[in-house]
A and B are shown apart, each in its own frame.
Chain A
């Protein structure tokens, strides 16, 4: 409890206080500026871009780390036991690789000059794409790295969720004539509901945490702010540009935003869980 107070709540309050000041981290003077940092936040196009990007990124990630692992988990149920085990190991592997290492691996994959994807592209007779330096692709490229890293964990959770579905229910449904898609649509997926909600909320939290390293390592938020996001923006304002007060103001707003999202999530997941118990 004391640790929590010192390492979580005190910095939280300190951030709130600093958001009303202008300070460069070394100067002994911290100038009180009232709501100015917050007002500037409203009209700063860079921050707006960061918020929009974060939303886009979350959508990308939602699709990549929820839909794909679910499909993979379902596909696995149709496999023989040996193959099932082998795939489980292979698909989980990226999860234990550190993000910094993953960054270097993906740098090589994405490199338009002699990288893995470029070789494939060239073999198909097409001009290589500059994944990380093209404003249209940079954000997606970052999302793919995070998704690749998170895939295994979500996949494992979903596989476990599927294994946890009571066989009696499935058998009963089969007896009633439910086969293939109908079985999935009406029995398995609804029973997987709680797991999916959990995976979704875990992914959102993880997405915010994981995204910094690849952005910092590979694109520095560029090109032209195309791959920046709120977490990177907070860091950049404070530790690259030494605007601690302004950075704190962004942090406070992001904190409130996440609080709202988490509350909504909690309410939604409670509904789904009660659905299961009914």
Chain B
């Protein structure tokens, strides 16, 4: 009899256990997070953030999935997953794709949760001024939340500066000073003076150069403005570095990177996001300075990086995605992220709080030049419309032609006409 009773008790206990775990499983939500952070580009920071988030939210399981091919590759895979009806819950979308994503990628706007979350307003107010605009559409709807912001920086090789008789403590501040320094490096050390980050996919650095000079690639109304005197002046200057001074080599961006890390390029204008990587690779004294200005004109740097979109279909997953995004952009989430990359903190008060990033910034003076530029950040202007991406490449091709010696004014006028046609203006 007792044996029978005991077996009943055991059975009962097991049933209870099974029911309990089933209950937990039902309450637990699993979500996927798609990002472009490879092992050498902030991957560890993603893992750390996910683990910490799961500690805080035991009811949510996050699987992070690295996507190959940068923001374009991620978007391609996302399109395939959406077509198959199996999208991730959270996806990083590069700012240059944000207009496309607002209109074309099915997502839940972040502000949908405004009424159901009493903390919503506090969360929104925690961001550095201007940053949230990167996740808003033309009518001001908060569709996505910015995660990463990078700005172009002037990296320089302090050893080469000294060899050339330049003062590394007093780096060039204007483009004219950059030009002089580049000449001096070329003449006295025989190495190349300067490289400027380029790609055929977008015009991120050119936008910063042009807007700092008071011009626009696309004006605030979205009209093509690349044939204005301010833009022509910038591209002429760039061409002069390459063709007249011969201080800027006309090579691919990967070649600039190789050359700079190998100590054969004095200065390099490049995204701050690669800072940690450069700091590890360079075997010379690496330093950074703010993006150069044109004389006394104010500096304008386009904010690169990405925003987080909620692409889940299931309401429970959408809610979990919302919580996850809130964590990644909290003070704690930003601390993990900034430390592991070279992106700038985008929430107020983390950089001088000893609990968060104050210690890190004290030890990493290279980051200061980047952070100092945050107030000068302007939105990275994507080219709108179904043929916007093609238009971006067309402008990049004009830059290629100009650096190879084509007439600046004629090339830009011709390209402006093509862009107007592609953008339907």
Contact = CB atoms under 8 A, between A and B. Distances in A.
Interface stretch (A105-113, A196-204, A256-264): A105-113
A240 interface: yes
A42 B233 CA distance: 36
Contact of B192 (A113, A222, A224): A113
B79 interface: yes
Contacts of A98: none
Interface string A14-51: 00000000001111000000000000000000000000
Given A107-B258, A220-B199, A240-B389, A114 B249 contact: no
User: What secondary structure prevails in chain B residues at the interface with A?
Assistant: helix
B200 interface: yes
Interface string B274-305: 00000000000000000000000000000000
Given A24-B386, A114-B264, A132 B252 contact: yes
Contacts of B15: none
Contacts, number: 93
Interface in B31-84: 72, 76, 79-80, 82-83
A26 B76 CA distance: 9
A134 interface: yes
Contacts of A115: 255
A130 B397 CA distance: 16
B264 A26 contact: no
B105 interface: yes
B249 A112 contact: yes
A239 interface: yes
A133 B386 contact: no
User: What secondary structure prevails in chain A residues at the interface with B?
Assistant: loop
A241 B390 contact: yes
B79 A130 contact: no
Interface in B235-253: 249-252
Contacts of B403: 133
A218 interface: yes
Contact of A224 (B83, B105, B397): B397
The size class of the interface chain B forms with chain A is 35 or more
B400 interface: yes
A72 to B, nearest CB: 31
Given A133-B250, A222-B400, A225-B397, A111 B258 contact: yes
Contacts of B201: 220, 240
A135 B406 CA distance: 12
A225 B396 CA distance: 11
Given A24-B386, A221-B200, A114 B262 contact: yes
B133 interface: no
B249 A130 contact: yes
The size class of the interface chain A forms with chain B is 20 to 34
Contacts of B250: 130, 133-134
A265 interface: no
A130 B242 CA distance: 12
A92 interface: no
A138 to B, nearest CB: 10
A26 B106 contact: yes
A25 B79 contact: yes
- Residue of A26, A239, A241, A243 with most partner-chain B CB within 10 A: A26
Contact of A130 (B199, B251, B262): B251
Contacts of A107: 252, 254-255, 258
Nearest to A128: B249
Interface in A205-260: 218-225, 239-243
B319 interface: no
B401 interface: yes
Interface string A74-114: 00000000000000000000000000000000011011111
Interface in A154-207: none
A77 B104 CA distance: 63
11 contacts: A26-B79, A108-B258, A112-B251, A113-B259, A113-B265, A221-B200, A222-B397, A224-B404, A240-B389, A241-B387, A242-B389
Interface of A: 24-27, 107-108, 110-115, 130, 132-135, 218-225, 239-243
Shortest 10 CB-CB contacts between residues of A and residues of B: A223-B400, A113-B259, A220-B200, A241-B389, A25-B79, A241-B390, A111-B255, A26-B79, A114-B264, A133-B250
